[in-house]
Amino acid sequence: MKIWLLVFLPWWAWAQPADELDAKLLQHYQQLQQDETAREAAIRKGRERAVLCAYCHGKDGNGGKGDIPILAGQNPLYLVHQLERFASGQRKRFVMEKLAQNLDHEEKIHLSLYYASIAQKPAAFDAEKARAGQALFASHCTVCHGERGMGQKGFARIAGQKPEYVKNTLLNFRKDGEKRFSPEMQAITKTLSEQELEQIAHYVASLGQP
Ligand code: HEC
Ligand code: HEC
């Protein structure tokens, strides 16, 4: 019941800025959405800044080992918010916290727009596990991440994401919220077993296929 109510809230009620700084970031981001020339310039600056990130995330934001998320094609507002969370220490991962602390708001916006503008190369997955995860995904995940896992506004696109990363992330949300806390994700993952989370993760990855 509660979940259904939440669906009808405007997206920004979810992404409610935690503080004034976050509100400024959101405002700036929205301005760029309306100004094509400024957006293109921002993407170009993001590409230049992303040299730092390529070592782990790949040159086009699609690369890296299994525990490194694909950034290409992600919703830019989600990316901006996650960089904010790393910088404030709300989301934990040593390297990302340090890197994000060294980015100013402009740079975070530029990087997010840049990665969002690249086409995603969907990750490999296990077809049998994906099949087993389909019904669980439909009943547990679509309400926020969408029918095909494409997300919306501040919600993460999960379609095509690496299954190892998705599974680890789901386990982290479920465990104690120490690495990453989200009341919504904690509530959902607590109702699922590790095996079910793995199956869902492979189904999520399979959604990246055209
Ligand atoms: C040393 C490796 C490394 C480098 C360099 C690196 N990242 Fe990351 N990044 C990671 C890992 C690992 C994660 C996953 C963290 C987790 O959830 O535990 C991550 C997560 C992220 C996320 C969250 C994505 C999501 O789906 O939630 C964003 C955004 C991000 N990185 C952006 C960047 C940017 C921008 C740079 C360059 C300024 C960068 N990263 C450089 C390793 C790296
Ligand atoms: C009630 C809404 C809601 C539901 C239902 C939900 N999620 Fe989420 N999900 C969120 C929110 C909010 C976040 C962002 C949390 C944050 O900012 O750290 C998130 C983040 C995630 C992430 C992290 C994305 C990334 O790139 O790091 C994954 C993976 C994810 N969800 C998968 C799922 C799966 C799989 C299900 C179903 C089992 C699910 N979610 C159900 C709201 C929801």
- In angstroms, the Cα distances linking 121 to 78, 80, 206 are 19, 21, 12
* Ligand lying closest to the C-alpha of residue 71: 1
| Centroid of ligand 1 to alpha carbon of 8 (angstroms) | 31
CATH class of 19-116: mainly alpha
Instruction: Specify the amino acid at residue 101.
Output: Q
Residue 31 Cβ contacting ligand 2 at under 6 Å = no
Do 68 and 142 touch, CB atoms closer than 8 A? no
User: Tell me, which fold does domain 127-206 have in CATH?
Assistant: Cytochrome Bc1 Complex; Chain D, domain 2 (1.10.760)
Tens digit of pLDDT per residue, the chain (210 long)?
344 434 433 343 444 445 676 777 788 888 888 999 999 999 999 999 999 999 999 999 998 899 999 999 999 989 999 999 999 999 999 999 999 999 999 999 999 999 999 999 999 999 999 999 999 999 999 999 999 999 877 789 999 999 999 999 999 999 988 899 899 999 999 999 999 999 999 999 999 988
Report the alpha-carbon distance of residue 199 to residue 120 in Å, rounded.
22
| Centroid of ligand 2 to alpha carbon of 97 (angstroms) | 20
Q: What pLDDT is attached to residue 21?
A: 66
Residue 178: φ, ψ to 5°? -70, -45
Instruction: Give the predicted TM-score (pTM) of the model.
Output: 0.91
| Centroid of ligand 2 to alpha carbon of 79 (angstroms) | 13
**Domain ranges for the chain:** 19-116, 127-206
Q: What pLDDT is attached to residue 209?
A: 87
Report the alpha-carbon distance of residue 7 to residue 13 in Å, rounded.
10
Best CA proximity match to 21, nearest among 81, 77, 79: 81
Report the alpha-carbon distance of residue 199 to residue 22 in Å, rounded.
35
Residue 69 Cβ contacting ligand 2 at under 6 Å = yes
Residue 142 Cβ contacting ligand 2 at under 6 Å = no
Which amino acids bring their CB within 6 angstroms of ligand 1?
A: 52-53, 55-57, 67-69, 71, 79, 82-83, 93, 95-96, 99, 111, 156, 169
Query: Do 127-206 and 19-116 have the same topology in CATH?
Result: yes
